[in-house]
Structure 1
Amino acid sequence: MVASVRLLAGLLLLGSTFASPVPSTNGIKFPPLPFPPITPKGLLCQLPIVKDFVCPRQTSSSLSVNTPIGAAKGTSDTAGANRFVVKYASANRWQPSTMATTWALPNGASDPSALPLSCPQPNVDDSAFSEDCLSMILYVPSNIKAGSNVPTMMWIHGGSFIVGSATGPGLDGSSLASATNSIVAVVQYRLGALGWMAPSGATNLAMGDLITALGFLKAVVPSFGGDASHVTIAGQSSGANMVRAMLAIPSASSLFNNAIIQSDPMDYGFLSTSTQQTMQSYFNGLLNCAASDTSCLDAISLDDLIDAQMNLFSTAYSLDPAATQAEPMRPVHDGELITTTLDSSSPFPSVSKSVLVSTVLDEAALTIYGNYQTAIPESSWEQAVNGTFGSARTQLICNSSQYAASQFVASANATVDARAQLQELGTDYIWKCASWTFARNWASHGGAVYAGLYIVGSSYPGNEAVAYCTQAGVVCHQDDIQIVFGTAPSPDGEQAALIGEMQARYGAFFRTGDPNPAGKGLAEWQAGGGSDVNAILLGGSGLAPVGACDPSYWGEEVQYDYQVYGI
């Protein structure tokens, strides 16, 4: 197989060839735009035969740290952090993961500088992944040692729950670990059908992997100088969705202190058990094995499993629209592990943790301008909205001044390009306003919440495939990742300043649950409340304009998808 695309947690757009036809009011639907292609170098970095030559790391002699489960072998590099790669758990196919009891390098490696293979996923060479993929990479500042009691952050990568890895672009945690004087752990978990569609009906196996990973960190980080009582979980996009799901798991609450949620497509909500069962029945029918026939299920090749998975991915919306076309395999509100929806569709529980919630300025631009390289006439605006939202919500949206064409043109005589309206609409309802609704709920029920909007970013590898995302002032989905990790290539002055700011704020948040570091001269980031989220502009000054994210509009006058579908 060759390098290809990742599916974006995004909008559904007119007449694209990227998704199978689905029913709608006007026969128009917004199919999800895939993520930009993995660059050839990005793919080669995952190939075990060449990754050490194509993507070398500047490392020195191997290191050894004694842990309760054996000697941890690692390497040091020039970024001021030591790197330790480890297999944190094992799992038989569609069975719960079990924590490692001995320290071992992933995939049978003997070289501590070797990178882990990713979990099985579509459009990646088979040699780049392994079903035995429950690995993590620890980045440990070189100046700390046992007894230092520094905090730990566990990062959960995104990728619409079907792609991604701990070795994804921009996820080298060396800079972030050094700048925050914290341990950074970047973790892998089972993807797609292997993590979410057990034929037995067991749900949330991938969430169980993350719980196992947190238990592993609790056991080993003191040996590296970490404080096991100060763990923050963080993630972006679908990874952020999993962070929010962790907040809805009472049994996991003691494993971490606080949480960071970057660009979670909260509009979708968690899956209901009924939607999951509908999808499960369809998926099981593709396998030609009885749900209880373990031998038969274990004999299915990974290629065949991925084919069945992608069949489900493209079919799920037609089976149950609540599945969505963008992320049909995702956390399930099963009432046992995940006990609350953490949205406005059910009573919000009492909470106490501190949460940082952020989105970027142009979340939906990758989808809109990726599907449409030329302008969309204003005459298509209402029809396009109706294809996704249905007549009732469409009238509310199209009659609102929030998305009127006049808001997106420089003068009354200017030609209107409806892509600008669609981009704003998608950004608001899937990401920004849904996140702000969550923030208000969190603050109203006892937790501290800090909201932010990135207006400066670093173009994520592959985003350059969409020309709009390369324009000055545009911050597309994923463009916050290299800012947080400090991996932006050749950052300009604005980017460098924001990298410094965010790493200082994250370092403070890891320790105290408050992103206001002392002595750094940064503007105060005020906690949000039940009505005002006080979202600061990250890369600017002051607060983000409320616009359509007023609590009386999205979630009240116009409902989110999770409300419409009763998830």
Structure 2
Amino acid sequence: MALLSFILTSLLLSTFSLATPTPPAHRDGGLVGFPPYNHHGILCGLPIPIVQKLLCPRQGSPSLAVNTPLGTAHGAADGTTAIRFAVKYADVQRWQESTVATNWTLPNGSTDPTALPLACVQDDIDDSAMSEDCLSMILYVPTSINVNSKAPTMVWIHGGSFVVGSATGPGLDGSNLAAATNSIVAVIQYRLGVLGFFPPNGDTNLGVKDAINSLKFLQNVIPSFGGDASQITVAGQSAGASLIRALLSIPSASSLFKSAIIQSDTMDYGFLSTTTQETLFNYFAEQIPCSSTSDTACWDALTVDQIVAAQDDLADAAFGLDASAGQAEPIRPVTDGTLITTTLDSSTPFPAVSKSLLVSTVHHEAGFTIYGGFSSALDPTTYAEFVASSFNTTIADQLLANQNYAVPASDEGNANADVRPQLEQMGTDQVWRCPTWTFARSWTEHGGKVYLGEYMVGASYPGNGEVPFCTESGIVCHQDDIEIVFGTVPSPSAAQSNLTKEIQARYSSFLRSGIPNAFGYANWPLSTTSDVHAIQLGGSGEAPVGACDPTFWGDAIPYDYQTFDI
């Protein structure tokens, strides 16, 4: 049967090559692994016109109106490749847990299906662009699937340090990604900042619970759009990736998704402990003009501006209140022992796991931070002083002696030398790269599967241009993988276009099989406990181990979560 499928596919592809070609993104997305699987057969998953016409009669292809168990969904054409459906997935009251929506409702009370949802409450955007009633998602349904396709769904969770971001952020239009992977793409929002993580009633992780409710909502409605509720993959970048790690730590959420894609997770930080969360909340409450946390009427009457101002005060004070909060992301998920039951690091026993994960970092994760903080050359003496002030003496000495971070012999004593590259590598390794590799080894050791990668090509994300380093050729800063994945790079170079096609092809395969190997591309091997096999995305071969040797970071040099035992 497998041989017959191969011969038939080859014949059809030969026929297809003589016809008017479909855009390359369609070809790459459809060929990977020859899924999706449905009762029409494997070939119906191929977005090839002649295949669809001859073998797969379309029954109820996507339209601007779709009947769901919750009511009629009204969408809007998003170009020619996908239909966009914006919807409110959960109801919410301030400081309370959200509840899954029981009716299909457009976001923010809108009657216009082309309208996009308002962002959740956050700093630095106009009040008219945000709302507390923000638990919405945008579904991108490719025109290549029909109600019987049983297509996979990728649920994207945006980043933003748990205080900013939205489903309408730059580059997050899922139309190209949906079409290229022949899958449904759902981009969700969740409550941010103190509204999502520091309620006065002592509850925790409201923003994480929002994400869980988005998955429950999708379980109800996704079959109406041609999706398979058993083929849901969660994906996200930065804080979105950290939220996915939280979902992986929640036994009750496990059945809601099949696999996960984790991009640029700040794994070094760990989750907050309940002690740290309580310390931070108490400070936040002191900034609020209410007599006590039990004065619910007062807390409910606070203006958004009052809440955000108190949140800003907390962010400034957090590191001084409790060093384990860190300086970059003090508001984040909490290991509360009831919802999140494990840290998924060495601070608590690592559980038995089984899901397939695709995990990646970018080559210059710390570039924006280091070159933004040191806008001019960093001389060796100042570099050594900075490292010494950031770590204890023993650790600082080991770091500065490591060949990956040591001042080159030719620059010793040279006041005009610039050793920012060494500091940038250290920051990338500490916060992102090495803890990610450690996580991959642990996940593998305890029964799961991990495919690890490092982006060597990227597209400078809006805002990264504030730091000239991040716009230089060959530099891939934090967030520069987003537009590559979504296929939304403005005027892409050949290298960017090629990597987008490869990533979307690999994601298409992973969404269906849990394996990111795609026709026409190099084999992506599984990580093992002894060799993580991190492939270079946009490059060739595997990334060098460098300081991510397990005897260095995580052993000789502890991660933050080890230092603070969180």
Matched residues in 2 for 1:465 and 1:169: separation?
16
Counterpart Cα distance in 2 of 1:333 and 1:184? 29
Aligned partner of 1:316 in structure 2 is 318
Q: Does 1:565 align with 2:564?
A: yes
- Decide which structure has the larger Cα Rg and report it: 2
CA distance in 2, matches of 1:561, 1:91: 34
| Distance in 2 separating the partners of 1:300 and 1:205 | 19
1:100 maps to what in 2? 101
Greater Cα offset, 185-194 or 288-297: 288-297
| 1:201–1:474 CA distance, 2 compared to 1 (3 A) | same
Indicate if the aligned counterparts of 1:405 and 1:416 stay in contact, CA closer than 8 A: no
Identity of aligned residues (%): 59
Distance 1:139 1:509 in 2: 18
Which contiguous aligned blocks of 4+ residues in structure 1 show a shift greater than 4 angstroms? 411-415
> What is the CA deviation profile of residues 198-231 of structure 1, one whole-angstrom value per residue up to 9, with x for unaligned ones?
1111000000000000000000000000000000
**Deviation by residue 1:219-248 (Cα, 9 ceiling, x = unmatched):** 000000000000000100010000111000
Of 376, 384, 390, which residue of structure 2 is paired with 1:382?
384
Letter of the structure 1 residue corresponding to residue 300 of structure 2: D
CA distance in 1, matches of 2:77, 2:500: 23
Is the Cα–Cα contact under 8 Å of residues 408 and 416 in structure 1 kept in the other structure? Answer: no
2:425 pairs with 1:396: no
- 1:303 aligns with one of 302, 305, 313: 305
Q: Does 1:369 align with 2:368?
A: no
Q: Which amino acid aligns with 1:102?
A: N
2:459 matched residue in structure 1 = 458
Instruction: Tell me the secondary structure at the aligned position of residue 439 of structure 2.
Output: helix
Q: Which residue of 1 aligns with 2:52?
A: none
1:328 Cα offset (Å): 0.4
In 2, are the aligned partners of 1:89 and 1:100 still within 8 Å (CA)?
yes
Query: SS of the residue aligned with 1:151?
Result: strand
Matched with 1:511 is 512
Q: Does 1:115 align with 2:116?
A: yes
Matched AA of 1:98? T
- CA displacement at 1:382 relative to structure 2: 1.6
Corresponding letter in the other structure for 2:555: E
CA distance in 2, matches of 1:271, 1:79: 44
Deviation at 1:380, TM superposition (A): 1.0
Aligned: 1:347 with 2:340: no
What secondary structure sits across from 2:440 in the alignment?
helix
Distance, in Å, in 2 between the alignment partners of 1:150 and 1:505 is 16
1:375-454 matches, cutoff 5 A: 375-406=377-408, 416-454=417-455
Aligned to 1:3: none
Amino acid at match of 2:472: Q
Kindly provide the CA deviation profile for residues 327-350 of structure 1, in whole angstroms up to 9, marking residues without a partner as x. 001010111100101012222111
Asked if the contact 1:76/1:142 (under 8 Å) is kept, the reply is no
Tell me if the contact between 1:260 and 1:356 (Cα under 8 Å) persists in the aligned partners. Answer: yes
Query: CA contact under 8 A between 2:506 and 2:516: conserved in structure 1?
Result: yes
CA contact (8 A) 1:201 1:280 kept: no
CA contact 2:198–2:204 (8 Å) conserved in 1: yes
* AA matched with 1:281: N
1:450-473 Cα deviation digits (max 9, x unpaired): 000000001101111111111111
* Paired amino acid for 2:383: W
- Whether the 8 Å contact between 1:230 and 1:511 is mirrored in structure 2 is yes
CA contact (8 A) 2:63 2:83 kept: no
- CA offset digits 1:39-68 (Å, max 9, x no partner): xxxxxxxxxxxxxxxxxxxxxx98100000
* Distance of 1:277 and 1:131 partners within structure 2: 24
Residue type of the alignment partner of 1:558: I
* Superposed displacement of residue 408, structure 1: 9.6
Contact kept, 8 Å, 2:162 with 2:331, in 1: the verdict is: yes
1:452-491 → structure 2 map (5 Å cutoff)? 452-491=453-492
User: What secondary structure, in the 3-state scheme, does the structure 2 residue paired with 1:166 have?
Assistant: coil
The two structures, once aligned, show a CA RMSD in angstroms of: 1.6
Q: Give the alignment's TM-score, normalised by structure 2.
A: 0.87
Deviations 1:149-208 (A, max 9, x none): 000011000000000000000000000000000000000000000000011110000000
Q: Who is 2:530 aligned against?
A: 531
* Aligned mates of 1:440, 1:461 — CA distance in 2: 33
Is residue 2:258 matched to residue 1:254?
Answer: no
* Stretches of structure 2 lacking an aligned partner (at least 5 in a row): 1-61
Does structure 1 conserve the Cα–Cα contact (< 8 Å) formed by 2:377 and 2:416?
no
Compute the displacement of 1:79 (Å).
4.2
Q: Which residue of 2 aligns with 1:216?
A: 217
Which deviations, in whole Å up to 9, do the C-alpha atoms of 1:493-521 show, x marking residues without a partner?
1111100000000010000110012xx21
Name stretches of at least 5 consecutive residues in structure 1 with no aligned partner: 1-60
Cα displacement string for residues 397-453 of structure 1 (whole angstroms, at most 9, x for unaligned residues): 1122221112897x9999531211110000001000010000010011100000000
